[in-house]
Amino acid sequence: MSIRQKRLMRPSEHRTTGSKLCMVGIVACVLTFLGWAMPGSAAAQRTKDPSRKIFEQYCHRCHARSKPEGDFRVDHLSLNFTNKANRRTWLRVVEQIKSGTMPPAGEARPDDDETKALVNWIESQVAAAETSRNARQGRAVMRRLNQTEYMNTVRDLLHVDVDLDGVLPVDLAPGGFDTNVETLHFSSYLLDGYLAAADRVVDAAFASGQPPTRIKRRLDPKKEIATRRPDVYRHLDDGVAIFASDLASNTQIVFWKFGTRSRGEYRFRISAHAYQTDKAVLFHINGGTFNLGDPPFLIDHFETPPGKPTIIEFTAKLDAGKNIRLLVDTEIKPRELRRMGGAADYQGPGLVVQWVDVEGPLGDSWPPPSYRQLFGELPRERVSADPVQHEAVSRQPLADAEAILRKFTRRAFRRAVTDEDIKPYLERVRIQLDNGDSFQQAMRVGLKAVLVSPSFLFLRERIRPPDREALARGLAPPPTLDDFSLASRLSYFLWSSMPDDELLQLAEQGQLRRPATLHREVERMLHDAKATAFTENFAGQWLGLRELDATLPDRQLYPEYDELLRSSMVKEVYLFFEEVLKRDLSLTNFIASDFSMINQRLAEHYGIAGVQGLSFRKVALPVNSHRGGVMTMAAVLKVTANGTTTSPVVRGAWVLDHLLGAAPPRPPAGVEAVEPDIRGATTIRAQLAKHREVTSCAVCHARIDPPGFALENFDVIGGWREHYRSIGNGEPVTVAGRRMRYKHGPPVDASDVLPDGRRFHNIDEYKELLLADKDQLTRALAVKLLAYATGVPATTANRPQIEAIVAAVRRKKHGFRSLVHELVQSELFQSK
């Protein structure tokens, strides 16, 4: 804990921390008295140590001299396994030994028995040290709420939707989750952000001004400036026909006569129909500012059938100063339409728009729910010369302030509160009242102090008193979370937000940790709309979907990539994840499934016939589709490519890490990455074959390359390919009568051999090989869920508990929902 964090703590919190440290000391003394040796102590070092003999025989020649290879000396390795950095060094040794990287090929190597003995000894020493540490202080340390959790928490705490863009920095989690305690730092800069955020949150909750002006208006596209251009628009008796749209040339209907005046949710109704076609026509709505130089944002895609006008209704959350734009999604581009003579005589399909109704911001009452959440039935009055400003008033301000703070801090701190807990905040209110502030102004100071307190900003997990009987028997039970901390861990795991009243009530009654109660609560929470946070935040980070827009596919090589395909890619993954979770399907579906959740745009991209329309549905996959499972979903294939080329190394490493739980070691220093050739002169396989000739690379690439080669039939945007696309050598390509700018390059070879000698010829055969070890797939996903839920990656000491979870899920046919339940019921989840 930093000095600044300590300063934010109240005296009572310092005493609590001190008592915990005292308890840790007592436990350590008891363990020592009972004969439990601390790892790294003399007793631990007397354990048979095979490392010295093996290192002297096989490693000293290169790694025990003044200028050692890789700047690493085995003779400097410490036997003090209580040191975290030292444990990590030893585990890197294990990693090098297991992968076969060290000793290098051509050098003398220990036999299998020697290797096994060394690895087991290192891992046992590491596990013993970690187990001892966990018994003293737990796996997880105090961590702050990440940005998503903070925004969700203030939403549920005060019923406010506050724009905090630019106020709080985005929490980055390269290669992991944004719940990781090691990435959630705290600083004076961040504290300034939280102070500014608290101001905005309190302002929104107080709602001191008049209710926002509600807009209710019908917009006529004929009156918009854009539709006066006859080259792309045609005015009809019942509306405006639109045949082509393009952001690059600003060919879109911008509804300039509409603009939001305040942040909120707006309802839109559009009357439209397909024109000059017997098929549905697609269009999409973007939001934006009144400055066309600002980038727009997608609201959604829609489709309208031919014939009589159809009413399309939707709602959207918009900030103040925003408008909407309508763009039609047809095959023709505005430039092509102009070359053909414009819209007047064009006979192709288009969209006719009659009108657009807009209403908002939506809200049923004033003052809003946030005011009532804080002040209940306290009246509002004008307290200044400003006729717009109204504030809550109280005839007994201190008594009301105490009642408000007691109720508020219980929910904000996510636990029961005492008089000592609320005393410093009530004192702040009293001082402001004595200085002449109004009741609401004084409450603002107290509430803001709560919102920047460590008990709100941090997940400060408390533990239950240790089991004396276990201590008496010489056992070292892990620090178990108290019921309130368990409620928070559960709610931030599944909702990325604070516990609701039911969870807090069960925690207060001491009933939450009962297995049947926990099971029932997990089911209730997964059925709640807030569980979409689990899909978006866990699945989104596990599968790397947050990186989807990190690269933009080259338009020359992949002209078919568009916004509709992009948004459909993401929805497929989320809907598939939810389907597997909802129905407790086997988690092996993440590797290979006989269905997916797709719409027409994705079906066309995948070459699957018979799927019509924008709506997503569960579709049985044809046997020869080569799809099924997340590996072959377009979104995942895109995030593992760079926009121009694919790399078996990148994709292979992704599969090993994200799906198999066997992340490869980092490449040796000085080894350059292999860049695929898009000129068609050579293939990535030929390039990697040469790369594998480097001794220091060969062992790791034997593991990394196979899953990457298995995915080589999928291009940068997840489309199936038999040949690489080239901008140089190759055969010309024609699609739907159009000559493409790219060519057919060399043929794709997706075959390879696994390190254990098993061969495959394509992605379908590779999936079958992975399915042979369902336990490893379960183990890998359990470790990912544990890291996300607790903020701490699994360690060597956690293997027995992980294996218990795997065994339990195996008995339940590897159901994914069952895995979530088993994790929540586990000692790992319920311990600090």
Residues in Cβ contact with 615 at an 8 Å cutoff, skipping those fewer than 6 apart: 599
DSSP element (H, E) containing 346:
none
Give residue 231's pLDDT. Answer: 86
Give residue 810's pLDDT. Answer: 98
60 CB burial (10 A radius; 0-12, 13-18, 19+): middle
Give residue 43's pLDDT. Answer: 45
Outline where DSSP puts E strands in 748-813.
752-753, 759-760
pTM: 0.87
For 216, phi then psi, to 5°, come to: -145, 105
DSSP element (H, E) containing 323:
strand 323-329
Query: In the chain, helix, strand, coil percent, each to 5?
Result: 45, 15, 40
Nearest to 196 by CA among 164, 229, 170, 228: 164
Residues in Cβ contact with 181 at an 8 Å cutoff, skipping those fewer than 6 apart: 140, 141, 142, 143, 791, 792
| DSSP assignment of 131-183 | HHHHHHH-S---EE--HHHHHHHHHHHH------TTTSPPPP-TTS-TT-TTT
265 bridge partner residues: 317
DSSP element (H, E) containing 509:
none
Give residue 107's pLDDT. Answer: 80
Nearest to 727 by CA among 574, 540, 596, 559: 559
**Both tokens assigned to 743:** 């060519």
Give residue 702's pLDDT. Answer: 85
Please state, in angstroms and rounded to a whole number, the distance separating the CA atoms of residues 565 and 601.
6
Nearest to 565 by CA among 614, 515, 629: 614
Please state, in angstroms and rounded to a whole number, the distance separating the CA atoms of residues 629 and 586.
11
Give residue 39's pLDDT. Answer: 44
Residue 623's CB: how many other CB atoms inside 10 A?
9
Please state, in angstroms and rounded to a whole number, the distance separating the CA atoms of residues 215 and 232.
30
DSSP element (H, E) containing 718:
none
Q: Which amino acid is at 30?
A: V
Q: What is the mean pLDDT for each group of 10 consecutive residues in the chain (832 residues)?
A: 41 40 37 37 56 83 80 84 86 79 78 85 84 75 92 96 87 85 90 95 89 91 90 93 91 93 94 96 95 92 94 95 95 91 93 97 85 92 78 94 97 97 97 96 97 96 75 68 97 98 97 97 98 97 94 93 95 98 98 98 96 96 96 97 90 96 75 60 70 69 92 97 91 90 93 94 97 97 97 91 97 98 96 90
